[in-house]
Amino acid sequence: MAEKILNIPLKKEEIRALRVGDVVYLNGPIFTSRDMGHFMIKKYLEENRPLPVEFEGSAIFHAGPVVKKKEDGGYDLVVIGPTTSIRMEPYHKMVADLGVRAIIGKGGLGDGSLKQFQEYGQVYFQAPPGCAVLLSEGIANIEDVHWLELGVPEALWVLAAVNFGPLVVGMDSHGVSIYKELEEKAKKRREEIYR
């Protein structure tokens, strides 16, 4: 298990070097996106409209930040924690095609995404649930926000990360998923108990 600091935009070779269990800290712009944010990305692509951010080499955080509006119209981050990622599974191929290198969230993604992680050179980072205050300390400021009409949690926030983490590699680009391993161990243990 290694500990690494990576800068965004992320490079494919850096992602390929990561293994399940590695601990990573990120520097650079991180985008938040949840259900409606992914839907908006899909809608923009279908309508051939330019997206508000460049996703090549990016990290998407499945999260809805708690923010405070400033007098100048900008926003300060209060706290931010991960939301359950599996809801975004139907959009993962689209996200992969955009060049996103890392997904940050909780609970992992499905088998389809795991295959795409191998094909595209992507990784899934488990953010520590229940540590929203700690995670917010790794965000220097909010740089921008798009689609605020969707509501604060669903908007696409552009966050400036400085040593953002700790994040644990939960799914790597080599077909390994800690979630799948845990599920298989749990099933085996359940069978032993029922016998």
Q: How far is CA 138 from the centre of its chain?
A: 15
193 pLDDT band, cuts 50/70/90, is confident
2 pLDDT band, cuts 50/70/90, is confident
* Cα-only R_g, the chain: 17
Residues 41, 94 contacting (CB under 8 angstroms): yes
Domain boundaries, the chain: 3-194
**Using one digit for the tens of pLDDT, what is the confidence trace for 48-107?**
999 999 999 999 999 999 999 999 988 999 999 999 999 999 999 999 999 999 999 999
Per-residue model confidence (pLDDT) at position 20 = 96
**Using one digit for the tens of pLDDT, what is the confidence trace for 129-188?**
888 888 999 999 999 999 999 999 999 999 999 999 999 999 999 999 998 776 676 677
Per-residue model confidence (pLDDT) at position 188 = 73
Which of 140, 144, 142 is CA-nearest to residue 162? 140
Beta strands of the chain (E only): which ranges? Answer: 3-7, 23-32, 59-61, 66-69, 75-79, 102-105, 123-126, 139-146, 156-171
Tokens of 163: 């040593």
**Using one digit for the tens of pLDDT, what is the confidence trace for 13-25?**
999 999 999 999 9
CATH of domain 3-194: 3.20.130.10
Report d(CA 94, CA 33) in Å as an integer.
13
Residues 27, 176 contacting (CB under 8 angstroms): no
Q: Which residues are catalytic?
A: 38
